Structures are given as structure tokens and as C-alpha cells.
Amino acid sequence: MPLGVVHDVGKSYRSLQGVDYAAVGALQYRDRDREFFCLLGPSGCGKTTVLEMLSGASRPRRPGRS
């Protein structure tokens, strides 16, 4: 049984020039009891953004919406 489910969420930011860019797009995640979760990736790939959304510190948006 899943403990938490994330379905089709993402996050975009607006640059200083006024252009929106996706930091995370269409995230899918389901955790289960007794599983280990780890985020790996290069600098700037969205690891912190994902953790902020999962913790509630940042509001996600559904891809294709503002």
C-alpha cells in the first residue's frame, strides 16, 4: 500500500527576462512501506525543487498550467 503518491506535477520559474522555464516537469512518484528514497542528479536538475514540493515548502503546478 502506498504511503504517498505524486502524480503529474511540476514546477516552473520565470527568468529575469520574463520567460517561463520548467524546473521539474510531470513528476510521478509513489512510495511504499519499507522503501528507501534517494534523489541523484547533476547540479541544477531540480533535486531541491522536488524536495521542496514533497515537503510542502513550495507549491507544485500541473504541467501545462500556470
Q: Give 13-34 pLDDT, tens digit per residue.
A: 888 999 988 888 888 878 777 7
CA dihedral angle for residue 19, residue 63, residue 66, residue 39, rounded to 10 degrees? -70
What's this model's pTM, rounded to 2 decimal places?
Answer: 0.67
pLDDT at 3: 58
For residue 7, list its beta bridge partners: 28
Residues with Cβ within 8 Å of 25's Cβ and at least 6 positions away in sequence, in order, are 10, 63
* Percent of residues, the chain, with pLDDT higher than 90: 8
pLDDT at 56: 85
Q: Is 50 helix (H, G, I), strand (E, B) or coil?
A: helix
The whole-angstrom separation of Cα 11 and Cα 27 is: 9
Structural domain boundaries of the chain?
A: 2-55
